[in-house]
Amino acid sequence: MEQKTLVCVCPECKNMVDLSRYPNLKVGDVIECQTCGVTLEVKNIGGGQVEVDIVDEGK
């Protein structure tokens, strides 16, 4: 089995988010940017890119 490499750019700090700790990433998952610590929700995965939105934790 070949593992696809996904990339995700943090919308907050514009740095790459390390996705190696999320081996089974899917839409709806919540991940964290290791650079700025913001919480991100996966909105779409396609073409090797992960699209995320910043999660407002103030709920």
Q: How far is the CB of 10 from Zn ion (least distance, A)?
A: 3
7 binds Zn ion (CB under 5 A): no
Kindly tell me which residue out of 13, 16, 30, 54 binds Zn ion, with binding defined by CB under 5 A.
13
CB nearer to Zn ion: pick between 12 and 41: 12
Backbone angles phi, psi at 31, to 5 degrees: -125, 170
The CA-atom distances, in angstroms, between 29 and each of 1, 26, 54 are 23, 6, 12
CA separation for the pair 34, 16 (Å, rounded): 9
Q: Please report, as ranges, the residues that interact with Zn ion according to CB under 5 A.
A: 10, 12-13, 33, 35-36
